[in-house]
A and B are shown apart, each in its own frame.
Chain A
């Protein structure tokens, strides 16, 4: 415990010297690059990037819950689904016999995130009673319930074929395919959403970092490392656990809204157990308990299959589907499985620990505690 507190002080003192560090300039270069991309990349890459951003937001949420507080959740996909479908229900115009409240889309997005949070809150009495593996498998129930509802509540979800997602519209800009020409580059849905995604991801990342670095973060780590001891020194364990569950569900809800906007259609098959497992893989690959780790893991897990499929012709051992040999789909499964295993065994802090190790070569920290 005391080590954790001490590190908090240390972090604050390091902040003051930030301007003189090259890292600040790397950051600025990165931001400029990200802002410039829509002018050059085509829709496929922008869409892939948007999937990664949405995944990153969801992964940050899961990392707060599983990485920082130690509550294993396999039900993340359920909360993503609530965000995605919630947005459709609030923003939809009720066409085609589907329930739609026709609210302004930005209110709908906010409400969808709120509903995801409420769903998390409703589940937290169960979550609060369960530990470790029990909680992990109890959250699996959410996936099954979610799938059942998505397929059967036809009025709300559109059943197996899903429902259309109304385009987001904020400050007079509609994030759809109607073309807006900026500096001679036509801006479609992906280009516009790219900036929305960046803003959301940045905001979510900062907020989560604030939570993790502040008092709540230390309390969460204390709960993860030793729940009873945390209680003894006065951390309100139950309240924190419920709160983190709600917060993580809201992150998932927001990721769901963004995903829905990118997909332009929500389909129930997406929100299955595989998706939940992918999110767990993201935070493990990236690094448990850190925002940067969640983002890095999300980028790896969601971009790797796309890269492999796109460049399958150029890769050794991998052959185009239908010609025999290992298909790109299989190759990416192998790599993804191997990455999870390899990271845990050889890089216990995940990808985030590489960066951390470089900037702080001597600090003997435990995995999952950097930023």
Chain B
């Protein structure tokens, strides 16, 4: 029982971090209908800013600068690359983000070299123990931060003019543009927000129990893909639920791998994708995604 609770808690907290990354995907997808494969490098960029600055300016300022920095990188991608594309095929744009990702990741990993950078967070490796269950403070912080940010975004989508503009743009770009929504600004904002969220996620991906920021950190983005999809690519609630499902699935599949040996060992990576495939078979637009009403 203790193990189960520990695995669940761990899964939920990791899941909330995945949800942050997935939310970034969703925001970009809603605003521009582009699947952003460059998210992995945004993660790395955010983490890199925090890791290289915290020694000089302290942890909290470094986090703020990191978030801002990653947001600028995201906005720059939108401004310098995405906006320049003249065609209309969204899968081509998705492939462009792969190119951007290769460029950014190569640059960042070259800078990182073979180092493992510490992020200088205040939580260290301390652990909260309640009864026989223990959980790291970093994980609690991750959960709280992700929860707060996601609620803020849900509210912002609903009640701010930016949120309304964004939803309008997602609904019908032409109509929105005619109504005076500046599509360029909406999509620039979406990319910046996604960058900022990625920086926060990078922070929690690289603190205890992981040793620090290094070149493989960006691979966590691969876990946010199924999270974003199974929740529904255009649904913010979906990103949250999807993230949590992925986190918990991964944690349980790893923790109980001895009981699951008939599937082969080392299922942690695979399990989220299996769950995703099953959900997509039942609901092709994800759990909360907008169903396409056209049928032929």
Contacts and interface: CB of A to CB of B under 8 A. Distances in A.
Nearest to B37: A277
Interface stretch (B53-61, B186-194, B263-271): B263-271
A138 B276 contact: yes
Interface residues of A, number: 48
Contacts of B269: 144, 148
Interface stretch (B79-87, B143-151, B164-172): B79-87
Given A132-B90, A152-B264, A141 B96 contact: no
Interface of B is mostly: helix
Nearest to B77: A341
Nearest to B264: A152
Contacts of B95: 280-281, 284, 340, 344
A353 to B, nearest CB: 12
Nearest to B234: A133
A340 B102 contact: yes
Contacts of A368: 89
B128 to A, nearest CB: 33
A151 B264 CA distance: 9
Interface string A201-234: 0000000000000000000000000011001100
A352 interface: no
Contacts of B96: 284, 340-341, 344-345
A281 B98 contact: yes
Given A129-B284, A130-B284, A337 B99 contact: yes
Contact of B81 (A132, A345, A367): A345
Interface string A116-144: 00000000001001111110111011001
Q: Quick one: which of A140, A145, A237 has the most chain B CB within 10 A?
A: A140
A90 B266 CA distance: 28
A228 B90 contact: no
Contacts of B110: 326, 330
A87 interface: no
Main secondary structure of the interface of A (DSSP, over half): helix
A339 interface: yes
A337 B106 contact: yes
A277 B85 contact: no
Contacts of A141: 226, 273-274, 276-277
Contact of B296 (A129, A232, A281, A288): A232
Contacts of A288: 89, 92
Contacts of A338: 99, 103
A136 B226 CA distance: 11
Interface of B: 29, 35, 81, 84-87, 89-96, 98-103, 106-107, 110, 222, 225-226, 228-229, 233, 264-267, 269-270, 273-274, 276-277, 280-281, 284-286, 292, 294, 296
The 6 closest A-B pairs by CB, nearest first: A340-B99, A231-B296, A337-B102, A152-B264, A337-B103, A141-B273
20 contacts: A131-B292, A132-B90, A137-B225, A140-B225, A144-B269, A148-B269, A148-B270, A152-B266, A227-B296, A273-B222, A280-B95, A281-B99, A288-B89, A330-B106, A333-B106, A334-B107, A337-B99, A337-B101, A340-B102, A341-B81
